[in-house]
């Protein structure tokens, strides 16, 4: 039997009835305490009607979930927790008008109760058909809104519409790169604008080293994502490349911290000669397994060199004979 109070909280935070039936209230409460809408990566709460002593206790609870405690109503406020006997209706209305979700004390403590982050236990929250290195938690319908993101390019002032629930963007990278062909929850579906929104608003947790690196740095992936290993490197090395693109992105772990390199398989060179020093021969060996050896053998052969030398010798001999003849004539005249 579903807990009615939990369902009321879940609906307040924007989850649909269909998802409640699909995921269940216990799972969704755990999801929502970590994955609700955030402003610029920050989640905040204001406590109304509580004594100073009560607020100090509530602050300790808020700190467990990275909730910033505010002292006044502000535009980017996420939650307002209201004590049962609080009578100032105007402040509640103002908070709601600023976009805050109003919670009673019981609802707040229900939502932000202490328990382990375990949403990876529910296979519905990510696409199991996608390989694990590419699989991420899908934002649910509480993130179903179009948000503007400014272009990353200094050459234009475009803004793009992103939607984390639909995992769509109207930028060229998403459209021309045909990223919509990938499933929701597949990292290859994310352009750099979606990655920014995912990092800031969804705030993913418990990511693997490579997924955390990609999302934190906003590195979108190409169509192929391959894992290779070389000796003395503990973590896997990842390659991201398109079949029709001459450049391959290499994500290489140096001291267990990933760094991005660019490699041209056709020319067999690293961009700006920036490469993981000390590991290049072993890395090239594995890259040649993936891409093959592209360099063509030199067209100069051994027979050419003697012929060139022979030609030079003949010219020198002719010149020497001419000089000798001239000297002979001069001597005879003398």
Of 157, 192, 214, the last residue of a domain is: 214
Query: Is 164 domain-assigned?
Result: yes
202 neighbors 36 (Cβ within 8 angstroms):
no
Q: What local confidence, expressed as pLDDT, does residue 297 receive?
A: 52
Pair (80, 59) in one structural domain: yes
Query: Is 124 domain-assigned?
Result: no
With tokens 């100032």, the residue in question is: 88
Query: Is 239 domain-assigned?
Result: yes
Q: Which of 219, 223, 201 is nearest to 211 (CA)?
A: 219
**Cα-based torsion angle of the residue sequence 35, 37, 38, 39 in order, rounded to the nearest 10 degrees:** 170
Query: How far is the C-alpha of 322 from the C-alpha of 152, rounded, in Å?
Result: 73
Query: Is 296 domain-assigned?
Result: no
Q: Which of 148, 163, 58 is nearest to 112 (CA)?
A: 58
Query: How far is the C-alpha of 304 from the C-alpha of 308, rounded, in Å?
Result: 6
Pair (275, 309) in one structural domain: no
Angle between helices 25-34 and 4-12 (to 10 degrees): 40
Beta-carbon neighbour count of residue 121 at 10 Å?
A: 10
- pLDDT tens for the chain, 334 residues long, are 456 689 999 999 999 999 999 999 999 999 999 999 888 889 999 999 999 999 999 999 999 999 999 999 988 899 999 998 898 999 999 999 988 999 999 999 999 998 788 888 889 999 999 999 999 999 999 999 999 998 877 777 889 999 999 999 999 999 999 999 999 999 999 999 999 999 999 999 999 999 999 999 999 999 999 999 999 999 999 999 998 878 999 999 998 899 999 999 999 999 999 999 999 999 999 999 999 876 655 454 444 445 545 454 555 556 566 655 565 555 555 4
Pair (22, 114) in one structural domain: yes
Pair (85, 15) in one structural domain: yes
Pair (165, 111) in one structural domain: no
Distances (CA, A) of 270 to 122, 220, 254, 258: 41, 20, 17, 17
Q: What local confidence, expressed as pLDDT, does residue 182 receive?
A: 97
Pair (108, 147) in one structural domain: no
Of 94, 119, 144, the last residue of a domain is: 119
Q: Domain residues for 139?
A: 131-214
Query: Is 44 domain-assigned?
Result: yes
Pair (115, 136) in one structural domain: no
Query: Is 125 domain-assigned?
Result: no
Query: How far is the C-alpha of 268 from the C-alpha of 136, rounded, in Å?
Result: 33
Pair (158, 246) in one structural domain: no
With tokens 């604008």, the residue in question is: 193
Q: What is the pLDDT of residues 163-218, one digit of tens each?
A: 999 999 999 999 999 999 999 999 999 999 999 999 999 999 999 999 999 999 99
Q: What local confidence, expressed as pLDDT, does residue 268 receive?
A: 92
Query: Is 54 domain-assigned?
Result: yes
Could you give phi then psi for residue 190, rounded to 5 degrees?
-90, 125
Pair (153, 48) in one structural domain: no
Q: What local confidence, expressed as pLDDT, does residue 241 receive?
A: 96
Pair (312, 243) in one structural domain: no
Pair (71, 155) in one structural domain: no
* Domain count of the fold of the chain: 4
Query: Is 126 domain-assigned?
Result: no
Whole-model pTM: value is 0.82
Pair (48, 106) in one structural domain: yes
- CATH code: domain of residue 67: 3.40.50.10190
């Amino acid at each position: 039997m579903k807990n009615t109070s939990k369902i009321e909280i879940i609906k307040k935070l924007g989850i649909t009835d269909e998802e409640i039936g699909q995921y269940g209230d216990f799972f969704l409460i755990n999801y929502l305490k970590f994955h609700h809408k955030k402003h610029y990566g920050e989640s905040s709460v204001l406590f109304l009607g509580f004594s100073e002593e009560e607020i100090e206790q509530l602050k300790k609870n808020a700190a467990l979930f990275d909730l910033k405690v505010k002292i006044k109503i502000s535009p980017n406020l996420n939650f307002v927790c209201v004590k049962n006997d609080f009578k100032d209706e105007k402040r509640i209305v103002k908070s709601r008008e600023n976009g805050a979700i109003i919670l009673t004390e019981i609802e707040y403590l229900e939502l932000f109760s202490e328990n382990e982050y375990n949403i990876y236990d529910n296979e519905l929250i990510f696409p199991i058909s996608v390989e694990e290195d590419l699989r991420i938690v899908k934002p649910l319908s509480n993130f179903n809104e179009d948000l503007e993101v400014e272009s990353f390019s200094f050459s234009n002032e475009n803004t793009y519409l992103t939607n984390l629930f639909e995992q769509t963007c109207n930028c060229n990278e998403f459209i021309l790169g045909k990223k919509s062909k990938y499933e929701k929850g597949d990292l290859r579906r994310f352009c750099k604008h979606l990655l920014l929104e995912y990092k800031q608003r969804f705030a993913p947790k418990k990511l693997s080293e490579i997924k955390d690196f990609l999302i934190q740095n906003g590195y979108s992936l190409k169509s192929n994502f391959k894992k290779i290993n070389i000796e003395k490197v503990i973590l896997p090395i990842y390659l991201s490349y398109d079949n029709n693109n001459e450049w391959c992105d290499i994500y290489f772990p140096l001291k267990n911290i990933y760094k991005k390199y660019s490699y041209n398989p056709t020319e067999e060179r690293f961009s700006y000669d920036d490469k993981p020093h000390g590991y290049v021969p072993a890395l090239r060996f594995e890259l040649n397994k993936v891409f093959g050896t592209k360099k063509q053998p030199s067209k100069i052969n051994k027979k050419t060199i003697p012929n060139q030398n022979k030609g030079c010798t003949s010219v020198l001999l002719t010149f020497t004979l001419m000089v000798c003849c001239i000297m002979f004539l001069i001597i005879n005249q003398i």
